Each structure stands twice: as structure tokens, then as C-alpha cells.
Amino acid sequence: MPLRMLRTVFMGSDPIALPLLDSLVTEHAAQVQLVGVYTQPDRPSGRGMKVQANEIKHWALARGVTLRQTEKLGPGDVDWLLAQQCDLLLVMAYGHILRQRLLDASRLPPLNFHASLLPKLRGASPIETAIATGETRTGVTLMRIVRQLDAGPIMDAEAVDIEADDDRAAVYAKLAQACVPLLRRAIPRLQDGGFRFQPQDDLQATHCRIINKEDGAMDFRAPARELHDRCRAFQPWPGAYFDFAGVRLRVGASKLDGAAPGVAPGTVLPWAAACEGLPVQTGCGVLLLTRLQRPGGRMLPAADFLRGFPVPAGSVLPSQPMPPLVS
């Protein structure tokens, strides 16, 4: 007897879910019928702050998939899911809290793809926080959605490595692709009822918060490794930055470079005209600031930037406290 096609609704607003969606309608076309996509309403974005559709909406419209956008999910959405005879509700980076009536509207348990290896890094910024705190491994966890944030039991997980100089874009791309094998393993289990869940160990849970603009501030009293990790985690937003001569300078990239014993943190070390980066002593080691930008200017290699905006050796760059990212 052939297995039942899974009538599936997806909820998400971030392009990290595009490989997952592509896989649903190609590799799993014989197992899954995508009956609808929910995504956030169009928002102002970009420099001109024009109202624009997100990439999930563009994906759905290009494939003729029923699209639903709403500011607030309500009883009408529950009725719609029931009318679609929804078997499976899949969620990734949607941005809405799902009430229990909605979670109960699908035949199978509703599932979320969370971009960390739970119970580590529950919360709003698992990708940036994993990089910024020096993790060497992260992944995507497929979990049952419950009303407590990212605390549902785990069905499966797919790990990825964070290389020493991976920035946010690199890790983001790895996590996007990690959803595909997760889905490949999950669909047959969901079809034949062979899926199982493992409760999370709440005692091992850590939590990450929403990243804000102030998190880009650099505290040169911290080790160079920690500053480098934050630089690569916070590109393109909020970016890493420090103030010099009353001007806020953004750091687009950095490298680690040895040590200069006996020099105060924040001190700019001597550099050559063709320097790879602006060398700054930190609390432990030297950090090369390899790409810099001033307000209204372009992000430039350090040598080009410093020709137009000198930062003399011996200058002491001020430090600003860096609030903790994990609790």
C-alpha cells in the first residue's frame, strides 16, 4: 500500500530556508504536497527603506504556491490549516509566536528547524552567537514545537563545523544546506509513523538574545581572538566598530597577529605603508584590522583607508564594554 502524501504548510521569513523549500518540491515531490507558505508581511528594507517582499515570498510566487502573509496569526489561520487538511507544519525563522490552537491544527507534530545544536543556544541569534563566542561546531536541530522557546523534544540534528575564519555568511550557508539531509531523513519517518523524539536536557541549555547595535562595540582589553570572533560574527550588521578622533570607524574584517608584550590594550602599533592591517594591541595578542570604513565612505582595505584617514602609531583606541551574548 503506497504511503500517504504529506500535505505540508511551511512558515518562514528568512532565505536560510530556501534550500529546505527547494528540497521539498524537488527531491520530495512524490512524498510531500506543499499546500501553502506563510511568511512575514512586506517590510521596508535597504538604504532607501522601500517596502519589499522577502525571498520566501518571491520563491512561493515563482512556483505558484499559495502564499499567506499576516501581521498576527489568529483563528482564521487555524481554520485555513484545518481546511487544507494539513498533515505537517514545518517552521524555520518565521518570526511569529505560534499559539497552541495553531500547533494543534496539523495531523503530525509541528516541527521547527533551529540553527543550533540544542539545548545549546536557544533563542534569537544562534548563528551570530556561536561564531562570536568561538564555537567550532554548530548545526541545525529538528524539534517539536512547544510553547516554551526552543525547548521542544528533538527528532534529529545535523552538525556543521565552524572554521577559524568563517564569517556569518559562511556559517549561514552551511546551516542552510544542513536542513536538506535533515529533511531527507525525516520525511520517510513522518510518512510511516516511525519518528521518535528525545527530550532536551534543560540543565545543559544556554540562551542567546537579540543582537543590537551596541554589540558591535570593541573592547580592546579583551583577547584578540574574542574580538576577531565578534568581527566575523557581526558582518554585515551590526558590524564591529571603535571611535577615533571623534569619528566612529567600522571594521569589516580582521586577522590575528602575535603579541606585543608590555603595550597597553588599544595601542596602535607601528605599521608600514603597505600594511595588511592596522595592528592594535589587545588584552592578549595583536589584532590586525584589515578592512575599515568611516561614515559616508566605502569599506576599504586597511592600507587604502589609512592613506586617507591616518591613525598614527602610538594612538590609544578607546575601549567600550562588550555585553555578554550567552546566558
129, pLDDT greater than 90? yes
* DSSP H stretches of helix in 36-167: 55-62, 75-83, 100-103, 126-132
The DSSP secondary-structure symbol of 232 reads H
Tens-digit pLDDT profile for residues 269-290: 998 877 899 999 999 999 999 9
CA 253 to the chain's CA centroid: 18
Distance CA 106, CA 234 (A): 37
Tens-digit pLDDT profile for residues 22-70: 999 999 999 999 999 999 999 887 777 788 999 999 999 999 999 999 9
Q: Say if CB 116 and CB 151 are below 8 A apart.
A: no
| pLDDT (0 to 100) of residue 252 | 97
Distance CA 327, CA 277 (A): 33
CA 5 to the chain's CA centroid: 32
1 — pLDDT class (breaks 50, 70, 90): low
Count how many residues are written for the chain.
327
Beta strand 88-92 with 111-114 is parallel
Distance CA 199, CA 126 (A): 20
What residues contact residue 276 under an 8 Å CB cut-off, 6+ apart?
A: 255, 288, 290, 302, 303
